[in-house]
């Protein structure tokens, strides 16, 4: 199997999209809102408003994570769709 620069670019874009999704969707969702809720609970001032705020932050981070993954996936498809077919013409 021959690897062209477009194949490598497609793999790199997809890998960066997945890594961005893991960072935003996994790391930030698990640390920032939940850490704030935990600290509020320990301090004794956990309210319904804080819970809803944490849920909104989590939703926002997951939406941003999905957008990052989608951009990586679209760039990967762009490079995969524009590979040379071996005859000098773009397919």
Tens-digit pLDDT profile for residues 36-61: 899 999 999 999 999 998 888 888 88
Please tell me whether the overall predicted TM-score, pTM, comes out greater than 0.75 for this model: no
- Burial of 68 per CB tally in 10 Å (0-12, 13-18, 19+): buried
Question: Looking at the DSSP assignment, which residues form a beta bridge with residue 84?
Answer: 90
Q: What angle do CA 81, 25, 64 make, to 5 degrees?
A: 65
For residue 74, what pLDDT band results from cuts at 50, 70 and 90? confident
Please state the domain extents for the chain: 5-81
Residue 90 per-residue DSSP state: B
State yes or no: pLDDT of 88 exceeds 70: no
């Amino acid at each position: 199997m021959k690897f062209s620069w477009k194949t490598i670019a497609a793999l790199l874009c997809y890998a960066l999209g997945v890594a961005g999704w893991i960072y935003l969707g996994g790391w930030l969702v698990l640390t920032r809102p939940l850490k704030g809720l935990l600290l509020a609970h320990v301090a004794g001032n956990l309210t319904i408003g804080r819970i809803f705020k944490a849920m909104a932050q989590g939703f926002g981070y997951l939406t941003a994570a999905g957008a990052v993954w989608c951009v990586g996936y679209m760039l990967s498809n762009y490079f995969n769709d524009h590979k040379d077919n071996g005859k000098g013409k773009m397919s």
